[in-house]
């Protein structure tokens, strides 16, 4: 989605979760007591305007070497700049200049945050990377500490935004951790911005098995209260059976666009063919961006006429 939006005449601020605890991010988080850089690195790459080779270097993951194997070079660069500047957010800003990021990338919080899940059988699973592996159905997720302080810059960006877009992404382990940061949901509710939810195309094993589009909204509202979004952008195209079968092997299904149930949550629904397929299914970033721009223009026209 960000790859499409950066082509538009927009001033983008991406607020990114800091609950990741797996892989290279998890190791750096433990070793250096810093927020995990992985999700932020991926967002920076999506918003960057740089040569393909530099992007490939930034995303390079070492396969060999004691201590280096498994680490991502971009993660290490963020960690190094954090050590140099003494501040994680400043490190992200400085590196954003190097790779020509169009917009700003901010962590939701600089607090050391751990994501936990209560499963339907009452057990608690600790750690973002462990939750989908539990083999159990998720009842709810929560943070430790329960209400980590938000980054002030993120709250300010939300307050003055014309549009606030949430999703797509892992429902329990990427979207909800941002919304559970202290004051984050309240800031979104009180902002005059157009609030848009972008629904996932496929379900995610261990998180949203057999979920429909309205199930995604239901879960968000069960965690933070209803009536947050004005619009829901959902895919209504069915991929070829051969592609569905490829995903079925990985225990993933198409997210069903149950439009009437979404409307019951007070959302205006924008349903369109949002599929883009190469080796995997992805959202059509350009098409989503056009829908978002239309909604933003409508809001601006309403303000001017009002």
What pLDDT is attached to residue 306? 66
Q: Which sequence spans correspond to the domains of the chain?
A: 2-17+149-305, 19-107
The tens digit of pLDDT for each residue in 129-184 reads 999 999 999 999 999 999 999 999 999 999 999 999 999 999 999 999 999 999 99
Residue-wise pLDDT for 46-81, tens only, equals 999 887 888 888 889 998 887 888 899 999 999 999
Angle at 79 between CA 91 and CA 179, to 5 degrees: 70
**282 conformational bin, left if phi > 0, alpha if psi -120 to 50, beta if neither:** beta
**39 pLDDT tier (thresholds 50, 70, 90):** very high
CA distances from 34 to 75, 175, 177 (A): 11, 21, 17
Sign of the Cα pseudo-torsion (127, 177, 288, 233, in order): positive
Overall average pLDDT of the 199-207 stretch: 96
42: CB partners within 8 A, 6+ apart: none
CATH tag for 2-17+149-305 (out of 2.40.50.140, 3.40.50.10680, 1.10.150.530, 3.40.1190.20): 3.40.50.10680
Strand partners, 72: 61
Tokens read off for 181: 């940061």
The pLDDT, as a whole number, for residue 151 is 97
């Amino acid at each position: 989605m960000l790859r499409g939006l950066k082509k538009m005449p927009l001033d983008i601020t991406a607020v990114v979760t800091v609950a990741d605890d797996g892989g290279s991010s998890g190791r750096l988080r433990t070793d250096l007591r810093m927020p995990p850089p992985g999700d932020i690195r991926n967002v920076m790459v999506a918003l960057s305007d740089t040569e393909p080779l530099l992007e490939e270097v930034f995303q390079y993951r070492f396969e060999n070497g004691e201590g280096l194997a498994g680490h991502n070079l971009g993660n290490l660069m963020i960690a190094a700049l954090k050590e140099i500047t003494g501040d994680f957010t400043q490190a992200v800003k400085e590196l954003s200049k190097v790779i020509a990021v169009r917009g700003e990338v901010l962590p939701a919080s600089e607090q050391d945050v751990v994501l936990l899940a209560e499963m339907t059988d009452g057990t608690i699973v600790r750690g973002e990377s462990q939750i989908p592996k539990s083999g159990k159905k998720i009842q709810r997720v929560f943070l430790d500490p329960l209400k980590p302080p938000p980054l002030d810059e993120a709250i300010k960006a939300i307050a003055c935004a014309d549009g606030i877009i949430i999703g797509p992404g892992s429902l329990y382990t990427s979207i909800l951790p941002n919304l559970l940061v202290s004051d984050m949901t309240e800031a979104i509710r009180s902002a005059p911005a157009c609030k848009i939810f972008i629904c996932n195309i496929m379900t995610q094993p261990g998180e949203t098995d057999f979920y429909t589009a309205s199930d995604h909204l239901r879960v968000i509202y069960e965690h933070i209260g209803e009536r947050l979004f004005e619009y829901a952008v959902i895919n209504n195209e069915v991929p070829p059976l051969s592609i569905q079968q490829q995903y079925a092997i990985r225990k993933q299904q198409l997210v069903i666009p149950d439009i009437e149930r979404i409307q019951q949550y007070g959302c205006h629904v924008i349903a369109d063919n949002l599929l883009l397929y190469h080796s995997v299914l992805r959202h059509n970033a350009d098409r989503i961006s056009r829908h978002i721009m239309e909604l933003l223009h409508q809001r601006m026209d309403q303000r001017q006429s009002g």
